[in-house]
Structure 1
Amino acid sequence: MPKETIEKTKLEDDALLYQKREEKKDREKFKELDGKGKLQFFRDYYLVKVLIVVIAAALLGSVIYTMVKPRPEAALNVAVVNDQWEEQAREDFKTDLLDYLGLDAGKNTIEVMDALWINEDGSDMATRTKLMVNISAGMVDVMIADREQFLSYAEQGLFVDLSDKLPAQLDQKLDGQILKSGVIEEEGQEPTGEYSVGISLENSGIYGSLTNQAEPMYIGITTSTKNMEDAVKMIQYLFQ
């Protein structure tokens, strides 16, 4: 065996022997102490080590819990085109709507994707793409937009016909506020038919509290929604 290896092994053995002797001395010293002395001894020699272990375990547990705990499920996904809600008002809206729907905030959430600015100069392709990808993936249940943009999507058949979706009492309450539109069946043709695709939010006090938008906004339910019942209830909530 090389000399360097022998010397290294001897040093390691000596260090281990010294450590064992020190540990034995500590145990003997600890036995001789009274209660107060033992507490002080623990604080001086072991407390820091214990705290490090406890903190490390807590951090590890937190990381594991964050990774494995179930994430809240989106009860509704709302897209807002050409409008931006006040931040605190948006959070209050989400909380209140969950309560109105009778859902547990720990298990469910309302996703609001606002500030989707769309214009006609062609500089908004990223926004249009983001919106259509989410709609196609069934991740937009309810859409809110200004009249011009709302009708442009309505003509593409984006919204369900609300005429047979709203409760009779709500339908009567919204008389005169329903937006109708035809649908383009083939590219290059004019829209045909007439469907109740949206509702004006001009008389919704709740929506008015969310934004400073002066232009009338309209709300509709997308044909790709997987949460029709709660989408209808959201409209009821806005006009309660």
Structure 2
Amino acid sequence: MFMPKETIEKTKLDDDALLYQKRDEKKDREKFKELDGKGKLQFFRDYYLLKVVIVVIAAVLLGSVIYTVVKPKPEAALNVAVVNDQWEEQALEDFKTSLQDYLGLDASKNTIEVMDALWLNDDGSDMATRTKLMVNISAGMVDVMIADQEQFLSYAQQGLFVDLTEELPADLYQKLNGQILTSGVIEEEGQEPTGEYSVGISLENSQLYGSLTNQTEPMYIGITTSTKNMEDAVKTLQYLFQ
């Protein structure tokens, strides 16, 4: 088969380059054997150190990427929703760290999520926020909810909070006597609420909560019926009323 002159010349150049490379590598090996310890170290630095450094850096970067992708992601051990209140960023971080220690959680495996600044009103402009909150509650992603009395009772009447008489330790419930918020539940639309349940606790006497907020209106805390972390939710109430 006929090969163009340019192809023949290029092939010859490639073959010559490979031959020279093999000769150089052979000479390098022979030269390396003849060197003493100090000379071998300098030879390594001159000819191979940069290549080794590049390979090591590439391996570290690849390993870091793989670890980031495959390492277990921390799971939320507790989700808190805060309606009509917003906490200072540093106070929020301090609260999460302190509560994490109180609950005995491993920060590398579990997190505490606080969804604050959920502003609700009665003029209909808060539909997106209400939808976001209800989606999270329905998905079991709100364990504890804090809200002003009006909004808290509106959700309580929908049956969204547990009866605290059934969940709180007797000594804690007795300690909070006089701070309990009760509510009935609307069984059918258009009807008055029926029954009377202990759905929330006033945070007015919680010094810890007072350090988190500038809210002057009384706020209440309750545990949602969709919680997947009842034990930690109860402990959170204990923590706030130490």
TM-score (norm 1): 0.94
1:122–1:9 distance in 2 versus 1, CA, 3 Å:
farther
Matches within 5 A, 1:1-240: 1-3=2-4, 4-240=6-242
- Spell out structure 1 runs of 4+ moving beyond 3 A: none
Q: Which runs of 5+ in 1 are unaligned?
A: none
How far apart are 1:102 and its partner, in Å?
2.1
- Which range is displaced more, 63-72 or 227-236? 63-72
Cα deviations by residue, 1:81-125 (Å, 9 ceiling, x for unpaired): 111122222222222212212222222111111111222222222
Change over 3 Å in CA distance of 1:218–1:29 after alignment to 2:
same
Q: Distance in 1 between matches of 2:215 and 2:230?
A: 27
* 1:9 aligned partner, one-letter code: T
CA distance in 1, matches of 2:35, 2:213: 70
Measured in 1, the distance between the counterparts of 2:10 and 2:225 equals: 75
Give the aligned CA root-mean-square deviation in angstroms. Answer: 1.5
Supply the distance in 1 between the matched residues of 2:206 and 2:189 (Cα, whole angstroms). Answer: 35
Number of residue pairs aligned between Structure 1 and Structure 2 = 240
The whole-number CA distance in structure 1 between the counterparts of 2:220 and 2:146 is 5
Pairwise CA distance, 1:238: 0.5
Query: Deviation at 1:30?
Result: 2.4
The share of aligned pairs that are identical, in percent, is 88
Normalised by the length of structure 2, the TM-score is 0.93
Query: What does the per-residue CA deviation read over 1:140-191, in whole Å, with 9 as the maximum and x for residues that have no partner?
Result: 1111111111111111111111112111111111111111111111112222
Look up the equivalent residue of 1:132 and give its one-letter code. M
- Larger deviation: 49-58 or 34-43? 34-43
Residue 40 of structure 1 aligns with an amino acid whose one-letter code is: Q
Is there any run of 5+ residues in structure 2 with no aligned partner, and where? none
Q: Secondary structure at the match of 2:44?
A: helix
